Amino acid sequence: MEIKVLGPGCPNCQDLERRVKQALKELNLEAQVIKVTDFAEISKYVMMTPGVVINEKVKHSGKPLPQVDKIKNWIKEETA
Amino acid sequence: MFKWFADFITYQLLNLPRGEHLSESLNFLLYDIPKIYTLLISVVFFVAILRSFLPPERIRKILSHEKEFIGNILAAALGIFTPFCTCSAIPLFIGMLESGVPLGVTMSFLVSSPTINEVALVLLWGLFGWRVAVTYIVSGMFVAVVAGFVIGRLKMEKYVEDFVYKTKIIADAPEARLTWKERIAGGIEYTRDIFSQVWLYILIGVGIGAFIHGYVPVDLVLRYAGKANPLAVPIAVLIGVPLYANCAGAIPVVQAILEKGLPLGTSLAFLMAVTGLSLPEFIILRKVLKPRLLLTFFGAVALGIILIGYFFNLVF
């Protein structure tokens, strides 16, 4: 599984990355977490940062940030 | 109710004499803070619910079908409900252009979205009254529409950085079907987010405002920044530019200065410069706009704001 966290590196994006890693840890799963900071690349997926893309599917964009439980559900959807 | 609360604490509980500097400042503070916080929480929540029906993907779909002018007006209106943080300026810009929204219409959105935001409106409504709040919305939309329309007419597409038109959107964000429970939960979270960001600035701003209210003499403001000084409007705009993040703190201060004789047009121009002309946003937009377009954009917005300032000083 490949998880992309989209955002130029503001505190929100860093917080989101932490939550994604937390979700993976709680599920005992390994996945490749890629931080996408390039604006051209971000713009391909979302209009509002920060964003989460799992297996090339946009799961989230903008604020407020998703709760860890919600991220866990997305990961489960993709692993099922 | 808020007035009663403030009077009760100042004059009954603390037994301060009416008409003195200290008691008038304290009364002002105790009256404004609970009123503004209540307004803020309810309005931000309401707007967050509204916005859950208008994600940016839907907005760009609406705007991509519109011609110029009508599109500019619509973009300015939709911008009111859709604040974005500076980091999102570029993905929004590229996302709109890529789905066929004209450059000028996109610019109208980029002006109106930060200029007319719910926090500014709450403070204007709570401190200046609804007439000024409505005037502010109309003026902000006017500047957004005119600046965007002018840029559209100037055919400046070639001054957009080349990679922008080459970016291909590969995935569309899910047209999420939210349940009401999710909308309300999101609204509460968003409200908490905003409140934790601005409550302190508001408190400081109202505190400074209360001080001005009680201590600064009227003729001081009139002498330097009254209508007789033709440079007051552009200077107010210049001072406003670096204050971008603090519209929540700036508005209460401006309200107190307005009470001391600062003309309405100058006050509006200053506030629009604080919210609409944000330096970090312009710096970040340089990544997608070549200098010429960036300067035109900045200039058109600044000029629009200054004209609004003079207009209201003349009329009122």
Domain interval for residue A52: 2-71
Backbone dihedral angles phi then psi of residue A60, each to the nearest 5 degrees: -155, 145
Domain count along chain B = 1
Residue A79: inside a domain: no
| A31-74 pLDDT per residue, tens | 999 999 999 899 999 998 899 999 988 999 888 888 899 999 99
Residue A1 CA to residue A69 CA, distance in Å, equals 18
What's at B91, amino acid-wise? P
Q: Looking at CA atoms only, how far is residue B229 from chain A in angstroms?
A: 42
Residue A7: inside a domain: yes
Specify whether the CB–CB gap between B96 and B113 falls below 8 A. Answer: no
Sign of CA dihedral B262, B263, B268, B270: negative
Domain count along chain A = 1
Task: Assign A11 a pLDDT band (cuts: 50, 70, 90).
Answer: confident
Residue B188: inside a domain: no
Residue A55: inside a domain: yes
Annotated catalytic residue, options A10, A29, A34, A48 = A10
Helix (H/G/I), strand (E/B), else coil: B153: helix
Residue A16: inside a domain: yes
Residue B275: inside a domain: yes
Backbone dihedral angles phi then psi of residue B264, each to the nearest 5 degrees: -60, -45
What's at B35, amino acid-wise? K
| B281-305 pLDDT per residue, tens | 888 899 999 999 999 999 999 999 9
User: What pLDDT is stored for residue B104 in this prediction?
Assistant: 95
Residue A77: inside a domain: no
Instruction: Give the CATH number for residue A17.
Output: 3.40.30.10
Please list, residue by residue across A28-50, b when 16 or more beta carbons sit within 10 angstroms of its beta carbon and e when fewer do: eeebeeeebeebbebbbbbbbbb
Residue B180: inside a domain: no
What pTM was computed for the model? 0.88
Residue B153: inside a domain: yes
Q: Which residues of B touch A49 (CB under 8 A)?
A: 85, 87-88, 91
Contact B171 A56 (CB under 8 A): yes
Residue B112 CA to residue B252 CA, distance in Å, equals 21
Residue B183: inside a domain: no
Residue A27: inside a domain: yes
Residue B172: inside a domain: no
Query: B162 to chain A: nearest residue by CA?
Result: A40
Query: Beta strands of chain A (E only): which ranges?
Result: 2-6, 32-36, 51-54, 57-61
Residue B192: inside a domain: no
User: What pLDDT is stored for residue B103 in this prediction?
Assistant: 96
User: What pLDDT is stored for residue A52 in this prediction?
Assistant: 93
| B171-209 pLDDT per residue, tens | 565 556 778 988 998 899 999 988 998 999 999 999 898
Contacts of B132 (CB under 8 A, 6+ apart): B124, B264, B268
| B22-45 pLDDT per residue, tens | 887 888 788 888 999 999 999 999
Cβ-based contacts under 8 A for chains A and B? 79
Specify whether the CB–CB gap between B297 and B289 falls below 8 A. Answer: yes
Backbone dihedral angles phi then psi of residue B35, each to the nearest 5 degrees: -65, -45
Q: Looking at CA atoms only, how far is residue A37 from chain B in angstroms?
A: 10
- Max Cα–Cα distance, chain A, nearest Å: 33
What is the ipTM score, two decimals?
A: 0.87
User: What pLDDT is stored for residue B150 in this prediction?
Assistant: 94
| Residue B224: other Cβ atoms inside 10 A | 13
Residue A17: inside a domain: yes
Q: Looking at CA atoms only, how far is residue B166 from chain A in angstroms?
A: 9
Contact B87 A7 (CB under 8 A): yes
Half-sphere exposure of B126 toward its Cβ, with a 13 Å CA cutoff? 28
Nearest to B84 among A45, A48, A64 (CB): A48
- Rg of chain A over all Cα atoms, to the nearest angstrom: 11
Nearest to B88 among A45, A49, A53 (CB): A49
Q: Any catalytic annotation for residue A13?
A: yes
Domain interval for residue B26: 2-163+200-315
Alpha helix segments (H runs only) across B154-246? 162-166, 180-215, 218-225, 232-240
Specify whether the CB–CB gap between B68 and B102 falls below 8 A. Answer: yes
pLDDT < 70 stretches in chain B: 171-176, 244-245
Residue B84 CA to residue B240 CA, distance in Å, equals 20
User: What pLDDT is stored for residue B171 in this prediction?
Assistant: 56
Contact B91 A57 (CB under 8 A): no
Residue B186: inside a domain: no
Half-sphere exposure of B164 toward its Cβ, with a 13 Å CA cutoff? 24
Residue A13 CA to residue A50 CA, distance in Å, equals 5
Task: Identify from A15, A35, A44, A47 which residue to disrupt to test chain B contact, counting B C-beta atoms within 10 A and taking the largest count.
Answer: A47
- A36 has which bridge partners? A6
Query: A9 to chain B: nearest residue by CA?
Result: B87
Q: Looking at CA atoms only, how far is residue A53 from chain B in angstroms?
A: 9
Q: Any catalytic annotation for residue A42?
A: no
Contact A64 B163 (CB under 8 A): no
Residue A52: inside a domain: yes
